[in-house]
């Protein structure tokens, strides 16, 4: 499954269940918005701008500047801090969350934000009888099942005061608070939802964030402007443009020449050239990312685990890290990246061993290999800055064991729709970038049976794995969760639903004039109100 990528040097600890109060308010200095424009180049057009109905990074980039969340990640981390809620309390054995909401906040359409509005935000995601229930719409690719469970583990939600919102869970859910901070759980104006309808919100976002929507020219650019009534620090840049520029070298050239200030999707080649380019500044941090090649495990020959394991032994991921990703990566040994707190270097991966790969293929009944198609995209992603190179490298590696791979490149939107379809078959480039700093976001979202087909695009069904992942979601102690996730990684490695690739650093390029820009582990453009342009 595809999405996102970025990371700080250390990661969020598991959310302890108990009583927790955060500072009730944060004083913000007022500053005028500068009459200036900042342009971000990205490789692909957004799928849509409704956080409850899309999952792609390009959409997230834009939405992270238009919307706020109930709670938000502290700058540069995935540690949860105040957002539209100034404080919260967790009681009843981890099953009751009481949020104190920020006063004086309005949506960009003038609708007041309060507990009544927050109830409607939840209602849109959780109540099938609600006229604006988003999951009733066709082709929704949503994080709602991931955040709230499938079926939902939310028992009730209600306003207990004008600025107090309470959620009751049926059972403790460890990642809940971290998931509420994701851009995919951003707070949408209920007035706008009623006015525009589902398709309207996809194309006309209305939130409470620092920037408000102006226009979207499909496959060209999304134009935003500073929201003058934003509750926090006033944006330092008046106009923010997200521009679609598919060609990597063109994005770099535009940053060099001042036509853009940030390159959001950096290719390996462009990173290498930037190392010797004084006209661009490099931002990088360890990546909360994984990449590789997915296989649908319910169709031949990939329904045979020996085949999947053989393909893993046939790929030299160390060579990919050094040769293909030019030092920006390290070989995967599990389906969690190192910055996630339950990753372990002791988890066994798949060392490069062509002889063993051939032996396993023979045991599986394919002594002479087989022919297959690899579905691929060409736009670089945070988890894969060189998708064309990865597809070609895997094609060449598998040729050595008799597996003939035909690469089929399609545009990224069509690619996502294809792999997230129940009819998806065969091999396809795959990757993931973390959203909330929790192992659940990787292992459950991508490999739990309940997430087929949108998250679990491999169609993997493993009862033992499902049991471990469900136990880990509901455990209250981090030590228990770590133990369960270690066991889950061992099971998943044996299942081998991917040809493992590499862990890739997050990289972005910017003009030296950019001030105050910070990467975030979730890869989104959070806190852009703090960014300015200097000489």
Residue span(s) of the chain under CATH 3.40.190.10 come to 34-242+506-533
Contacts 24+ apart (CB under 8 A), 411-418: 411/377, 412/43, 412/44, 412/56, 412/377, 412/378, 412/379, 413/44, 413/45, 413/47, 413/56, 415/2, 415/375, 415/376, 415/377, 416/2, 416/47, 416/55, 416/56, 416/141, 417/139, 418/375
Question: How high is the pLDDT of residue 452?
Answer: 93
pLDDT level of residue 137 (50, 70, 90 thresholds): confident
Question: How high is the pLDDT of residue 31?
Answer: 46
The residue whose two tokens read 């794995």 is: 465
Q: What is the pLDDT of residues 98-119, one digit of tens each?
A: 999 999 999 999 999 999 999 9
Per the CB < 8 A criterion, the answer to whether 290 and 337 are in contact is yes
Residue with more model confidence, 23 or 515: 515
Q: What is the pLDDT of residues 199-233, one digit of tens each?
A: 889 999 999 999 999 999 999 999 999 999 999 99
DSSP state of 243: E
Share of the chain above pLDDT 90, in %: 82
Question: How high is the pLDDT of residue 231?
Answer: 98
Question: How high is the pLDDT of residue 1?
Answer: 44
Q: What is the pLDDT of residues 510-527, one digit of tens each?
A: 999 999 999 998 899 999
Question: How high is the pLDDT of residue 139?
Answer: 77
Q: What is the pLDDT of residues 120-131, one digit of tens each?
A: 999 999 999 999
pLDDT level of residue 7 (50, 70, 90 thresholds): very low
The average pLDDT across 453-474 equals: 96
Share of the chain above pLDDT 70, in %: 93
Residue with more model confidence, 1 or 473: 473
pLDDT level of residue 157 (50, 70, 90 thresholds): very high
pLDDT level of residue 324 (50, 70, 90 thresholds): very high
How many CB atoms neighbour CB 319 within 10 A?
13
Pairing type for strands 221-226 and 237-244 reads antiparallel
Q: What is the pLDDT of residues 267-298, one digit of tens each?
A: 988 999 999 999 999 999 888 999 999 999 99
- pTM tops 0.85: no
Which tokens sit at 235?
Answer: 């944006």
Residue span(s) of the chain under CATH 3.10.105.10 come to 289-504
pLDDT averaged over the chain?
A: 91
Between 3.40.50.720, 3.10.20.30, 3.10.105.10, 3.40.50.150, what CATH number should domain 289-504 receive? 3.10.105.10
Q: What is the pLDDT of residues 308-320, one digit of tens each?
A: 999 999 999 999 9
pLDDT at 26 over 60: no
Between 3.40.190.10, 3.60.150.10, 3.30.365.10, 3.40.30.10, what CATH number should domain 34-242+506-533 receive? 3.40.190.10
Question: How high is the pLDDT of residue 198?
Answer: 75
Question: How high is the pLDDT of residue 146?
Answer: 85
Q: What is the pLDDT of residues 329-346, one digit of tens each?
A: 999 999 999 989 999 999
């Amino acid at each position: 499954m595809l999405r996102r990528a970025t990371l700080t040097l250390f990661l969020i600890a598991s959310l302890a269940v108990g009583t927790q109060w955060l500072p009730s308010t944060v004083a913000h200095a007022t500053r005028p918005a500068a009459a200036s424009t900042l342009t971000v180049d990205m490789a692909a057009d957004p799928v849509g701008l409704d956080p409850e109905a899309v999952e792609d990074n390009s959409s997230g980039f834009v939405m992270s500047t238009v919307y706020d969340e109930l709670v938000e990640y502290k700058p540069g981390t995935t540690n949860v801090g105040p957002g539209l809620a100034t404080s919260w309390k967790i009681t009843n054995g981890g099953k009751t969350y009481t949020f104190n909401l920020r006063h004086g906040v309005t949506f960009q359409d003038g609708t007041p934000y309060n507990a009544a509005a927050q109830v409607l935000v939840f209602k849109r995601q959780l109540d099938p009888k609600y006229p604006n229930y988003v999951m009733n719409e066709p082709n929704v690719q949503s994080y709602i099942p991931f955040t709230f469970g499938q079926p939902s583990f939310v028992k009730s939600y209600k306003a207990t005061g004008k600025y107090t919102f309470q959620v009751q869970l049926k059972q403790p859910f460890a990642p809940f608070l971290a998931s509420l901070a994701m851009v995919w759980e951003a707070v949408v104006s209920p007035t706008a939802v009623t006015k525009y309808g589902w398709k309207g919100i996809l194309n006309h976002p209305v939130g409470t964030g620092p920037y408000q929507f102006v226009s979207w020219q499909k496959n060209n650019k999304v134009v935003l402007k500073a929201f003058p009534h934003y509750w926090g620090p006033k944006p330092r840049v008046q106009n923010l443009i997200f521009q679609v520029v598919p060609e990597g070298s063109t994005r770099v050239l535009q940053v060099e020449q001042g036509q853009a200030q940030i390159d959001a999707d950096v290719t390996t080649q462009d990173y290498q050239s930037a190392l010797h380019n004084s006209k661009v500044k490099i931002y990088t941090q360890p990546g909360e990312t994984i990449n590789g090649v997915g296989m649908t495990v319910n169709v031949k020959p990939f329904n045979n685990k020996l085949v999947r394991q053989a393909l893993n032994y046939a790929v030299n991921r160390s060579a990919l890290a050094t040769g293909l990703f030019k030092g920006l990566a390290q070989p995967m040994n599990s389906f969690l990246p190192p910055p996630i707190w339950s990753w372990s270097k002791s988890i066994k991966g798949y060392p490069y061993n062509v002889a063993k790969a051939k032996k396993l293929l023979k045991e599986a009944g394919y002594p002479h290999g087989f022919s297959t198609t690899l579905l691929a995209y060409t736009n670089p992603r945070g988890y894969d800055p060189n998708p064309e190179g990865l597809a070609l490298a895997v094609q060449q590696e598998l040729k050595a064991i008799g597996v003939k791979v035909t690469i089929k490149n399609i545009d990224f939107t069509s690619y996502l729709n294809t792999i997230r379809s129940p009819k998806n078959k065969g091999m396809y480039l795959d990757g993931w970038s973390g959203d909330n700093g929790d192992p659940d976001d990787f292992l459950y979202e991508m490999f739990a049976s309940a997430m087929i087909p949108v998250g679990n695009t491999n169609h993997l069904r493993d009862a033992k794995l499902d049991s471990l992942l469900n136990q880990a979601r509901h455990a209250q102690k981090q030590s228990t969760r770590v133990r369960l996730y270690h066991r889950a990684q061992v099971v998943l490695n044996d299942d081998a639903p991917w040809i493992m690739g590499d862990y890739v650093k997050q990289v972005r390029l910017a003009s030296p004039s950019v001030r105050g820009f910070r990467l975030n582990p979730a890869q989104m453009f959070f806190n852009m109100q703090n960014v300015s342009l200097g000489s």
